[in-house]
Amino acid sequence: MIVTMEENVHSGGFGEHVAAWYADQDLDAELLQIAIPDTFVTHGSPQELYRLTGIDADSIVSKIINRTGN
């Protein structure tokens, strides 16, 4: 599994470019894209916003564990 992580919105982000490259190369790889959702994000401290948008350490670990089934 390939995991991309970015402090950027999902649409047009690094993860989408990686997914497009794999598709162009006709490679089959499981890809987990972790990025800020394409929704309005309210104001707050960086730590609050990381947690809210799912890009804090605990959320990232949880997403990877859920995807791998471990």
Mean pLDDT computed over every residue of the chain: 93
Using alpha carbons, select from 59, 35, 55, 37 the residue that is nearest to residue 46. Answer: 55
Provide the percentage of residues in the chain whose pLDDT is more than 90: 81
What is residue 35's predicted lDDT score, i.e. its pLDDT? 95
What is residue 41's predicted lDDT score, i.e. its pLDDT? 86
15 burial level (CB within 10 Å; 0-12, 13-18, 19+)? buried
- Whether the CB-CB separation of 15 and 35 falls below 8 Å is answered with yes
Structural tokens at position 8: 């950027």
Structural tokens at position 58: 């605990």
For residue 50, the enclosing domain spans 2-68
What is residue 55's predicted lDDT score, i.e. its pLDDT? 95
What is residue 64's predicted lDDT score, i.e. its pLDDT? 95
Q: How many domains does the chain have?
A: 1
CATH number of the domain that residue 60 is part of: 3.40.50.920
